[in-house]
Chains A and B, each alone.
Chain A
Amino acid sequence: MISTRVQAEAFDAGAEAATLAAGRSDIGAIVSFTGLVRADGGLVALTLEHYPAMTVRQLAAIADEAWARWPLIGGTVIHRHGRLLPGEPIVLVAIASAHRGAAFEAAEFLMDWLKTRAPFWKQEDRDGEHVWVAAKTSDDAAAARWSATPAKGEQP
């Protein structure tokens, strides 16, 4: 299964990948993606607001969808909330499979759907000026390539 967590604390991507592989010999590939706070344009901090009950449900639904689409052995998805500083990790997707193809694809799918369906909102702190980040149409396009028709739970 793919476990999902929403937390304020930082995570250790290496430790999460090691946990997926621990005690197993059937995993041939682990793909791990970590999203970080990037300090461009004078960014001081990023605050992630979320809708806790819906976040938990949406992450579980997205994880279930990936599990149904690819032959996976395990996975971990972690998304942080609260105030994060440049260089800090925001999101982790780590996917284990027998072969790399499924692991790469499932990890990219999870990130694309997470960005367009999980109810998180980023606010930038630019030296005291607080600005909500606008959604990107490129993210919508990236998510849409995985499904020709809107599925249940998709942001219309």
Chain B
Amino acid sequence: MITLLYFAWVRTRIGFGEQRLALPAGVATVADLLDHLATLSPGHAAALADRDAIRIAVDEDFVSTDALVAGAREIAIFPPVTGG
């Protein structure tokens, strides 16, 4: 099981900020995971439609979508950051 965290408009489009998920067979990379998540609900599909508009952190480090998800504890999905 991994914990998925959603922030900002990714969170509001999906409708909640956190979910636990068992990784399905065949999900090896972050890109595979995003493809799978997009099938879960219309909100997930809307939030994840534009892959260039989202950023990913695996266990609190930024990664690219070709990163492997095996062994990950927590994966966060969010828009480009806008602090400061």
Q: A: which residues have CB within 8 A of B?
A: 35, 48-51, 53-54, 57-58, 79, 90-91, 111, 114-123, 132-135, 139, 152-156
Q: List chain B residues, Cβ under 8 A from A117.
A: 62, 81
Binding site secondary structure of chain A: mixed
Chain B contact-residue range equals 20 to 34
User: Is B5 touching A115 in the complex (CB atoms < 8 A)?
Assistant: no
Q: With A and B bound together, what is the CA distance between A133 and B78 in angstroms?
A: 13
In the assembled complex, the CB of A151 is this many whole angstroms from the nearest CB of chain B, namely 10
Report the number of A-B residue pairs with Cβ-Cβ less than 8 Å.
81
Q: List chain A residues, Cβ under 8 A from B63.
A: 156
Q: List chain A residues, Cβ under 8 A from B39.
A: none
Q: B: which residues have CB within 8 A of A?
A: 5, 7-9, 11, 55, 57, 60-64, 76, 78-84
Q: List chain A residues, Cβ under 8 A from B80.
A: 134-135, 155
Contact of A115 among B8, B57, B60, B83 (CB under 8 A): B83
Contact of A120 among B5, B60, B64, B81 (CB under 8 A): B81
Known: A120-B82, A135-B79. A49 touches B62 (CB 8 A): no
Q: With A and B bound together, what is the CA distance between A58 and B81 in angstroms?
A: 12
User: Is A118 touching B61 in the complex (CB atoms < 8 A)?
Assistant: no
Binding site secondary structure of chain B: mixed
Q: With A and B bound together, what is the CA distance between A57 and B60 in angstroms?
A: 8
Contact of A49 among B7, B57, B64, B84 (CB under 8 A): B7
In the assembled complex, the CB of B60 is this many whole angstroms from the nearest CB of chain A, namely 4
User: Is A155 touching B55 in the complex (CB atoms < 8 A)?
Assistant: yes
Contact of B8 among A116, A123, A155 (CB under 8 A): A123
Q: List chain A residues, Cβ under 8 A from B55.
A: 155-156
User: Is B83 touching A153 in the complex (CB atoms < 8 A)?
Assistant: no
Contact of B57 among A54, A134, A135, A152 (CB under 8 A): A54
User: Is B81 touching A115 in the complex (CB atoms < 8 A)?
Assistant: yes
Contact of A114 among B11, B62, B78, B83 (CB under 8 A): B83
